[in-house]
A and B are shown apart, each in its own frame.
Chain A
Amino acid sequence: MKKYLDSIKHSRTIYSFVGLMIMVVISSLTVNKFMTFDNVITIFRQASTLFILSAGLTATILMAEIDLSVGAASGFIGCVSAQFLKADLPVPMVFLLGMALGALVGMLNGFLVGTVKMPSFIATYGVSWVLAGLSVIVMNGAVIFGLPEGFTWFGTGYVGPIPVIVIIACIIVALVYFLLHRTTFGRDIYSFGFNPDAALYSAVPVNRTLYAAFILSGITAGIGGLLMMARLNAADATMGDAYGMQTIAAVVIGGTSLLGGEGGIVGTIIGALLLTIVVNVMNLLGISSFAQPMVVGLLILAVVMFDTYTRAMQEKLIE
């Protein structure tokens, strides 16, 4: 019975899962080194930052809002944390400060969208520019190398054969999964996403939920930024830029609807894996990295097209 009520959130995700499976099968048949243990670990390690960053973003997209500042926020928090480390602050403190900073960014987004009533697309886009600019100022145009080993362990260390960063990513994903699917807060997000007006009339604390979703997105951006920096063993003002669009791509490819309500974190993980595998396979095949954005773009278009088509078919079938 439990699975019964639970299964609702996976309804659209099944297509993404099938897509991932097809991708895996084709890759392991055609690409030599794909199905080796080392390569699978590499894929997960490469995907882990994307897992973390898009986990929080899933919550905002489920509310039919969007957070375009995820990439810039992660870069900014990475840069500030690098300065903290340079100033010899203890590592746990740096982590806490980074997460707090992420929460602050989320609060700002929540304020602009929930209280000022700006469209989230514009508000978070503006915030992302401000944060990108702040990163340059914080770094003063330079790149910071050589971070303390106690910190870089989180990005490059191993527990047995498993990279630490993968373990952390899994923990965060599990936490967000729990929040979204096992708590009343998660249900409020879905209610709002399906119909904000009905949510208001159903006594859902709409503004509080909106703030919380953006704060969640900010916190995961913060953690993502910290780990990104730990993995690179360096901080650079532009390091988060690539993730702005990739995170949204992961969520959308995973079957979460930009119209809100439908989808969930499981889909996002599948989407992030799909994206990473595409890039991984292209690397293994020696395809120029110049072609990669184009392939990712085609993938997004194909997924959305398929989604639109199956949705129409489904409605027809039920009528």
Chain B
Amino acid sequence: MDETILRVHSITKRFPGVKALDNIDFDLKRGEVHILVGENGAGKSTLAKVILGAYVPDEGEIFFEGQKVAFKTTRDALEKGIAAVYQEFTLFPYLNVAQNIFFNREPRNKLGIIDHRKMERDAAELLRSLNCEYIDVRAYVKKLSVAEQQMVEIAKALSYSPRIMVFDEPTATLSEREVESLFERIHKLKAAGIGIIYVSHRMQEFKFIGDRITVLRDGKKIGTVGINEVSDKEIVKMMVGRDISQVFHRSANVFSGEVLKTETLSDRAGRVKEASIVLNKGEIVGLAGLVGAGRTELAKLIFGVDPIGGGKVYIHGREVNVTSPVHMVKCGVGMVCEDRKRLGLAVNDSVAWNIMAVSLKKYFPRFIIYYNKAYDIVEKYKTQLRIATPDVLRKCKFLSGGNQQKVVLAKWLSMDTDILIFDEPTRGIDVGAKIEIYGLMDKLASEGKSILMISSELPEIIGMSDRIYVIREGRIVGECKRAEFSTDDIASQMLGIVGDAHAS
């Protein structure tokens, strides 16, 4: 079983202005899960796309089963047996499952007419092999859940009888239960001798499914290691390029007094169930959980975006009637959203007005705006957060992700709320900006602000939090203090795996 099916030799790929891949070597064995990891922009997706034939490399060679290959399109790679399951689905919502799986290569009878019966039989067969016989091959894809769609996507990939499958951040859109069943499938595919390349940046997943791990950074290969030979800290160090203690700096803090408390808080949609949490003055509390575990939903309840189904919210010990973000901001709560471009910013509006969006009424309570004063405030936060823009009237969409995030932070800093909810505050931004944001969080906490940080990145949550709550299926399933943090414990609580079942 231990033979190499794919070998990538000194691949270089340039894009205008950047070397996306710089002299990369990579290999994959039969029946192995090889994890490809790195920060955003490290080149992991580019490497996957080169292997899949979506990009033609500028230099280097690819050997598939010992033979040199040069894919020009994804179709070339598919015919050799390299199939992909992308982060975003490529299915047609208004075609049924079978039609999607065999799209454009439907089985035909002698007259050249599509043989629907055979197509559906084959599709059902494929789904059965994935233990997904409950998916109706005649159902429109639109009607399926995200997880079911993912299974159809996998079935489609399998229908090419691949030797290699590439998963590109497959868990980004899945709920935890769906992640579990995906991992189960991956174990099965592995047992069937298929080589798997798994692109991800989620630490907590690696140990559950990976055999080997290759770390990329800035287009360069940092190293390939066996999953059991390294600790999480070492992986992070490889990814980030410096010691974890340099990335996360927390000053020692004394916490005094509860500022936020929720009591058996539930929403109306059943995604948050009786969540009770406490946030003290000067404390950073991490809320760890997978996507869909109810973390963002809990934040939206506290911030007054979604209606409360049951339970209470206390701020500074007083019960608050949570009605709207307008009211919650008055109570001293701010929220940095996960989806920066959709919810955090008006990307077509200027940096200046985005920064002023929340605090405008605080600075100008008498309705009339004085531009000189507004400009001074904007400049102050631009300098303080080192927002790189030639001009504060520039539209936000022309800023980098890190600078956009700083605009969002500036917006809330200028409001100066006591409580800040940070939902995935460092998603999609480069390491430099990340470190700045961590530094800012630490500073805010020592100034007596309280931060509730939601994150699916364990190193971040462990590095920054004073206390961590773990949320799963809408419930708070665990709580631990900084001294007791353990990556394995938190990860297994997030995934709902008890004891040492994850050691496999």
Q: Which residues of A contact B (CB under 8 A)?
A: 1-2, 4-8, 182-187, 190-191, 194-195, 197-205, 261-262, 318
Contact (Cβ within 8 A) A195 B329: no
Residue B326, interface by CB 8 Å: yes
B325 CB–A CB distance under 8 Å: yes
**Chain B residues with CB under 8 A of A184:** 360-361, 364, 367-369
Contact present for B353 and A262 (CB under 8 Å): no
**Chain B contacts for A318, CB-based, 8 A:** 398
Rounded to whole angstroms, the CA-CA distance of A182 and B370 in the bound complex is: 7
A198 and B345: CB pair below 8 A?
Answer: yes
Whether the Cβ atoms of B344 and A183 lie closer than 8 Å is no
Contacts of B360 in A (CB 8 A): 184, 187
Number of B positions contacting A (CB below 8 A): 38
| B372 and A204 contacting across the interface, CB-CB below 8 Å | no
CB atoms of A203 and B326 under 8 A apart: yes
Query: Contact: A183 with B349, CB < 8 Å?
Result: no
- The distance from the CB of A139 to the nearest CB of chain B, in whole angstroms, is 40
Q: Which residue of A lies closest to B374 (CB)?
A: A5
Asked if B342 and A198 make an inter-chain contact with CB atoms under 8 angstroms apart, the answer reads yes
CB-CB under 8 A for A194 and B393, given A187-B369, A201-B335: no
Max count, chain A CB within 10 A of own CB: residue among B350, B357, B368, B369: B357
Chain B positions 315 through 349: 1 when the CB is less than 8 Å from some CB of chain A, otherwise 0: 00000000011101100000101000011111111
- Shortest Cβ distance from A261 into chain B, in angstroms? 6
Which residues of B does A touch, CB under 8 Å?
303, 305, 324-326, 328-329, 335, 337, 342-350, 352-353, 356-358, 360-361, 364, 367-369, 371-372, 374-375, 378, 392-393, 398, 411
The verdict on A261 contacting B335 (CB below 8 Å), with A2-B372, A182-B368 known, is: no
Known A-B contacts A1-B375, A199-B357, A201-B337; the reply to A190 vs B349 at CB < 8 A is: yes
Bound: A129/B353 CA distance, A = 38
How far is A197 from B344 in the complex, measured between Cα atoms in Å?
A: 8
Measured between alpha carbons, how far is A202 from B392 in the docked complex, in Å?
19
Inter-chain contacts of A198 with B (CB < 8 A): 342-346, 357
Q: A201-B325, A203-B326 are in contact. Are A187 and B356 (CB under 8 A)?
A: yes
Q: Are A205 and B368 closer than 8 Å at their CB atoms? A: no
Nearest residue, chain B, Cβ from A194: B346
Given A187-B353, A203-B329, verify A8-B393 contact (CB < 8 Å).
yes
CA distance A7 to B352 in the complex (A): 12
Are A199 and B346 interface neighbours, CB within 8 A?
A: yes
Contact B367 A195 (CB under 8 A): no
Asked if A5 meets B352 with Cβ closer than 8 Å, knowing A201-B305, A202-B411, A205-B326, the reply is yes
